[in-house]
């Protein structure tokens, strides 16, 4: 079997007077028709390593050593002084190797129709192809990746497509010229579990149909277990373990690999919650309806349709479902960000107005939110101290000791107080977000995908922190998530939503061991598992 990509002793470093090594002596090989999983936490160098093969290193970094060979063409050989030029690299991108990026929304031009963008990808290596023929080929490609009514949808813009559909469009562009190698960099991180399964099924189909090789870059070991033939584990810029995927996961030789596996959410439920029976329920929401009006449509869109939620003090209730099911709209209604059209909401025994403007300052303090992306949720111009102190100052309750206490509660010592958000890791930023949410002593925390942007080991630390804070303060948690593994480890009860309605509600153990609704069973079946079966090409479900 011939080798499509070979990387030998690659070293990447920052540019400057004091260069810092980012990738240190990495060697990888990908054969035709093979799938290689490259797994590691943020900063491990996994994406940099593969980006180097396409000449796509970010500004401020450079290849300092090693050799890269793509389809028998030497692109880089530092010792021999061989460096492929931009013209050579452009000829290879898309034709020999193509990339599917993590966030399709940021990769697509929001102002151009999706079909036009696919057609542009077609014409990159076929400049003599007419515009009409390119558009027809774009529709063929979109159809081949499972886009229904492709000719009609091709005329619409990216914001009119779901996340899974946008990723299908990215795959269509990547396979436009039947490349020998597909590189998928965290291709499903932002997607719901069922859509994730559809995208991975699609990649398996493409590989079988075209014979292309696949490099799957991810931090999700479950995804690697089901979708790769071989596995390379990276840590601090080095490959610490490599081998056949099943062999590595069945008997990992390195401590770091074992730690990654141990950090994955356990396939068991949390211990009994510290529910405080003498206190008012953290949340009682009854018959909530949320509707949105869209210009040009006479009837409003009903995002939430008669949903009721009760959360006791000290209890965690998770709301799960696919994108567009209404779970985030429900959370916004609870907080008053998106006023409920109908229904009643009470937090810690106090009846709330539908809109946040109708709630008093004291009422608003009772429910706070922890956002998904800790970086964009924090003002980059403020220190950690000022970020946590801000809500206290607004309420004229500022005290330096309170800020220090809040930081201590989330596991950050006083040395963090003077730091800026940009000087913190993702997990540390999320701890600051939690401290800020706790500043006014709420009774309910709405946790909107609070760990989905974090590496698996950091996820485990944040979930442990949330559990400890809940047991100490008797907080109620409304936990919004698409990650059923995380839900299983933290939730006491689970609400499953589909098309704005609750289709199943039960204690967590019952949901996972004896799901009643077909949609719940579908969600559970799509969860990647370390011991899951190897994914092969099949007819993936089409959105």
Model confidence band, residue 262 (pLDDT cutoffs 50, 70, 90)? confident
* Terminal-to-terminal C-alpha distance of the chain: 36
Q: Tokens 């008669």: give the residue.
A: 306
CB 359 within 8 A of CB 435: no
Q: Residue 507's beta-bridge partner residues?
A: 493
Structure confidence at residue 273 (pLDDT)? 58
Mean confidence (pLDDT) of the chain: 89
Q: What share of the chain is helix, strand, coil (3-state, %, to 5)?
A: 35, 25, 40
Equal CATH topology for 3-108+180-263 and 283-526: yes
The DSSP code for 536 is -
Q: How far from 269 is each of 273, 321, 445, 474, 511, CA to CA, in Å?
A: 11, 19, 21, 19, 11
Query: Which helix H or strand E contains 505, and what residues bound it?
Result: strand 501-507
Distance between CA atoms of residues 519 and 529, nearest Å: 19
Per-residue pLDDT tens digits for 423-441: 887 888 999 999 999 999 9
Q: Tokens 């706790």: give the residue.
A: 438
Structure confidence at residue 398 (pLDDT)? 81
pLDDT surpasses 60 at 539: no
Structure confidence at residue 30 (pLDDT)? 95
CB 118 within 8 A of CB 176: yes
Structure confidence at residue 418 (pLDDT)? 92
What is the side-by-side order of every strand in the sheet holding 316-320? 367-370, 444-448, 476-480, 316-320, 493-498, 501-507
Q: Where are the beta strands (DSSP E) in 293-394?
A: 301-311, 316-320, 342-347, 350-352, 367-370
CB 493 within 8 A of CB 318: yes
**CA-atom Rg of the chain in angstroms:** 25
pLDDT surpasses 90 at 193: no
The whole-model pTM stands at 0.79
The DSSP code for 28 is E
CB 403 within 8 A of CB 397: no
Model confidence band, residue 298 (pLDDT cutoffs 50, 70, 90)? confident
**Of 522, 214, 437, 205, whose CA–CA distance to 429 is shortest?**
437
Structure confidence at residue 276 (pLDDT)? 64
**Of 26, 23, 29, whose CA–CA distance to 6 is shortest?**
29
Give the residue extent of every domain in the chain.
Answer: 3-108+180-263, 283-526
**Of 190, 182, 242, 208, whose CA–CA distance to 38 is shortest?**
242
Per-residue pLDDT tens digits for 102-154: 777 778 999 999 999 999 999 999 888 999 999 999 999 999 888 888 999 89
Say which CATH superfamily domain 3-108+180-263 falls into: P-loop containing nucleotide triphosphate hydrolases (3.40.50.300)
CB 11 within 8 A of CB 65: yes
Per-residue pLDDT tens digits for 470-504: 999 999 999 999 888 889 999 999 999 999 999 99
**Of 150, 167, 163, whose CA–CA distance to 202 is shortest?**
167
Say which CATH superfamily domain 283-526 falls into: P-loop containing nucleotide triphosphate hydrolases (3.40.50.300)
Distance between CA atoms of residues 450 and 370, nearest Å: 6
């Amino acid at each position: 079997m011939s080798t499509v990509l070979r990387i030998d002793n690659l070293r990447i470093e920052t540019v400057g007077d004091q260069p810092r090594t980012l990738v240190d002596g990495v060697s990888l090989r990908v054969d035709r028709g093979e799938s290689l999983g490259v797994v590691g936490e943020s900063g491990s160098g996994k994406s940099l390593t593969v980006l180097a093969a396409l000449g796509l290193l970010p500004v401020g970094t450079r290849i300092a050593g090693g050799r890269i060979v793509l389809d028998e063409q030497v692109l880089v050989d530092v010792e021999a002084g061989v460096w492929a030029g931009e013209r050579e690299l452009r000829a290879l991108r898309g034709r020999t190797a193509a990339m599917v990026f993590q966030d399709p929304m940021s990769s697509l031009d929001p102002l151009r129709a999706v079909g036009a963008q696919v057609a542009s990808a077609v014409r990159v290596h076929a400049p003599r192809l007419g515009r009409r023929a390119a558009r027809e080929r774009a529709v063929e490609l979109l159809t081949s990746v499972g886009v229904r009514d492709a000719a009609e949808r091709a005329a619409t813009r990216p914001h009119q497509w779901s996340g899974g559909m946008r990723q299908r469009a990215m795959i269509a562009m990547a396979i436009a010229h039947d490349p020998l190698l597909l590189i998928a960099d965290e291709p499903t991180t932002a997607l719901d579990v069922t859509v994730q399964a559809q995208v991975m099924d699609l990649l398996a189909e493409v590989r079988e149909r075209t014979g292309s090789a696949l490099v799957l870059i991810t931090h999700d070991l479950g995804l690697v277990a089901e979708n790769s033939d071989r596995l390379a584990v990276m840590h601090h810029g080095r490959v610490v373990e490599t081998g056949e995927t099943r062999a590595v996961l069945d008997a990992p030789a390195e401590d770091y690999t074992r730690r990654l596996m141990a950090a994955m959410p356990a396939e068991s439920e949390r211990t009994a919650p510290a529910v405080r029976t003498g206190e008012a329920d953290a949340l009682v929401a009854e018959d909530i309806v949320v509707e949105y009006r869209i210009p040009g449509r006479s009837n409003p869109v009903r995002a939430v349709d008669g949903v009721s939620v009760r959360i006791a003090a000290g209890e965690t209730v998770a709301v799960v479902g696919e994108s567009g099911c209404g779970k985030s709209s429900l959370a916004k209604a609870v907080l008053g960000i998106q006023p409920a059209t109908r229904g009643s909401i009470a937090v810690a025994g106090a009846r709330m107005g539908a809109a946040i403007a109708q709630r008093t300052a004291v009422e608003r303090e009772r429910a706070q939110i922890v956002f998904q992306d800790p970086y964009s949720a924090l003002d980059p111009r403020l220190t950690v101290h000022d970020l946590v102190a801000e809500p206290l100052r607004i309420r004229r309750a500022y005290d330096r000791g309170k800020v220090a206490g809040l930081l201590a509660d989330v596991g950050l010592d006083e040395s963090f107080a003077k730091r800026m958000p940009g000087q913190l890791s993702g997990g540390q930023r999320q701890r600051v977000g939690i401290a800020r949410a706790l500043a006014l002593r709420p009774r309910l925390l709405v946790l909107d995908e609070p760990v989905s942007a974090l590496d698996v080991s950091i996820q485990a630390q944040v979930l442990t922190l949330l559990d400890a804070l809940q047991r100490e303060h008797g907080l109620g948690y409304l936990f919004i998530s698409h990650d059923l593994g995380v839900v299983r480890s933290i939730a006491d009860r689970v609400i499953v939503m589909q098309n704005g309605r609750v289709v199943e509600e039960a204690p967590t153990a019952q949901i996972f061991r004896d799901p009643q609704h077909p949609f719940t069973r579908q969600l559970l079946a799509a969860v990647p598992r370390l011991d899951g079966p190897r994914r092969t090409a099949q007819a993936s479900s089409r959105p």
